[in-house]
Structure 1
């Protein structure tokens, strides 16, 4: 199909982690397809590792990268940020304004709506990436954020969900949407499906991800402590990543006397980190469609993960291996079993990898998202076979029990 060039601007608050990986891959694919692409994001977020990735992306984007102060929570400073963002985005004259995450989605839809009132036909597209959908609808914060999502839903032309679970969460917590919508799984590049061998002096376990309670590093540390209590010595482990709670986890390691067993590394490329340990542990309390799970499976590394978000969709028929989220006893047991039978873990990793490549492809991800843009603009036929409205309705029953427990930690 001939591609009509578009001017696409992606908006996200925090250019880190899986959400930025998604944007980076998508932006590069769109740029290579002949579209003019730009990115706006927070100027206060990101380590040296994250900023280096942004600098590497900048030459690929015809509309550039612009950074403005953006707060995580709702504050009066949002008004100033919105005015600055509006002026910048207005001058870019986007055909597509694609917001990622709760804050990026709010900026994109509000600014896109003002542009439309002033004669610019900017399509407003939103992908939650979990975001406000992690909040408990029975708590005050959840009620506030889900009400805002319902209001912003009226200003939305396209919705993209990265998993069936996320579509079900939106339907359950926010409500039915009239926007054109689609479920599009995150994707990997072909070279990421090459198995990664471990170093000769590899440790037993690796945690890789953001250092915040939502991702469960505290559970990982506590499970290692439990194994030490039972066996007299703790398995060797590495923690790779950065985040707001890093110092608290370091203090936890010292308090539990695990300094000699656990090594902190900061941020590293995933495939480099995989070499450090024989087993990867992802003990998340909540997720949407985590890249680290996809990357671990594609690299054929033995994996222990929790039954949250879209992770069961990745595991498919092997979802019975997943651990109950937040259950320290079951996580400890799973890690003990991995130590006891490494051959079984290796075979499970091989089996899981074999069914991943076709579904979780970056090219497929790009094609389905870009086609949705074109449908919204009326320059591509409607993909009536994959509306997220229908998919999310069917997904609700199997996700309900998990949705009831999800909250922002």
Structure 2
């Protein structure tokens, strides 16, 4: 899917109307949902919006979502092959994205995730790249990204050095969680970027309860199958439950990722492979019907949508005490489990499975009420737009001052 970019029209001067281009890599997971929600809401408010994303990931589901969104995007959808890890093709892709941005002529270039953030901001560091001829701002939402890297590993030090260079040409950084903002401050630091916490948000209709199907698994995992998501810890916990109770509960895994083969091998070694089912990515509310209790065993997170979505759907939930998850739970954060601890996770799963229906419903309602009050899509979109406005104003003042400084010298 590739829409022909639309250059800035002469009459594109409506008061308050912005031209916004979102740049991301893989159209999967919570990052993709965030971009789709934000772009859709901004377009609905009358802004000219475009999206640039990878063409090699996401599959049919991403294609369907983008086809539904594209008619509302005045600046279209541009898809290129963008690799997750550093590649020889990166300079070529970066140049093509910079050229597309020059044709689209946005007021706001908003990069999402490590690779999207790189491509959105790189033209400001490389003078031989195509650049925008008019004042604009560069925005970066990490979505975890480089913040999940081990800062002591040599290759990750290089990544963080690049992030520090890019931060100096960044005007606004909306963080999904206070945790992400603090982690960024420690690992990368701030120079002049406007930085604010803008939590992910849900639509009102997402708070309708979801009922599990008749043959739903006892436990459910929804998300990427990657090491930092802790799915291996969940499989180990399943084996421990079998050892303690004599029978392993059923576990449904919904998603995709590079660690599928390793997870299948682990389940076979631990003797619980017959208790697992694997299913491809699907809409969250559909996936939540596949299990009775959702488990989020992550080793690292920022502010995961699946936790918000499960709480809104009144799906009982076990989650680890990492990243921004405690910010979602608030006063109920004592319900969270330590990460990377199969024994603690197994105990929590046994306790949740034995909880009576009334207690489970009361706990779910408490969390749903908190999420409804604090994590709305409308609040998220309004906070991002306010940040754009403030950053545009600050950037305009700064650039005007820089223009006269050489004359004073």
Q: TM-score, normalised by structure 1?
A: 0.89
Alignment deviations for residues 28-49 of structure 1 (CA, whole Å, 9 cap, x no partner): 0000000111111112222222
1:209-264 Cα offsets, whole Å, 9 max, x none, are: 11111111111111111111222211012111111112222233333332332111
- Do the aligned partners of residues 143 and 353 (structure 1) sit closer, same or farther apart at CA in structure 2, a change above 3 Å counting? same
CA distance, structure 2, for counterparts of residue 369 and residue 154 of structure 1: 20
- State the match for 1:259 in structure 2: 273
Match of 2:393 among 375, 378, 386: 378
Higher relative contact order (CA 8 A, sep 6+): 1
Task: Find 1:278's aligned residue among 282, 285, 292.
Answer: 292
Structure 2 unaligned residues grouped into runs of 5+: 1-13, 398-409
Q: 2:232 corresponds to which residue?
A: 218
Q: Does 1:197 align with 2:211?
A: yes
The 10-residue stretch of structure 1 (357-366 or 260-269) with the greater mean CA deviation from structure 2: 260-269
Work out the CA distance in 2 between the residues paired with 1:217 and 1:256: 14
User: Paired residue for 1:168?
Assistant: 182
What count of residue pairs does the alignment treat as equivalent?
380
Gaps of 5+ in 1: 383-409
Deviation at residue 379 of structure 1 after TM alignment: 9.7
2:138 is equivalent to residue 124 of structure 1: yes
Matching residue of 1:60:
72
Is the 1:112–1:123 contact (alpha carbons within 8 Å) kept by the matching residues of 2?
A: no
Shift of 1:3: 6.4
| CA shift in 2, pair 1:151/1:304, >3 Å | same
Match of 2:98? 86
What is the Cα deviation at residue 359 of structure 1?
1.1
Residue 96 of structure 1: aligned partner: 108
Q: Secondary structure at the match of 1:138?
A: coil
Moved more, 338-347 or 220-229: 338-347
Report SS of the residue matched to 2:78: strand
Distance 1:170 1:340 in 2: 40
Q: Tell me by how many angstroms 1:109 deviates.
A: 0.9
Give me the whole-angstrom Cα distance separating, in 1, the residues matched to 2:191 and 2:318: 35
How far apart, CA to CA, are the structure 2 residues paired with 1:52 and 1:15?
11
Partners of 2:167 and 2:190 within 8 A in 1: no
Structure of higher CA gyration radius: 2
In structure 1, the partner of 2:148 is 134
**Do the aligned residues in 2 keep the contact of 1:241 with 1:267 (CA within 8 Å)?**
yes
Q: TM-score normalized by structure 2? A: 0.89
Query: How far is the alpha carbon of 1:186 from its aligned partner?
Result: 0.2
**CA–CA distance in structure 1, aligned partners of residues 249 and 265 of structure 2:** 19
Q: Which residue of 1 aligns with 2:10?
A: none
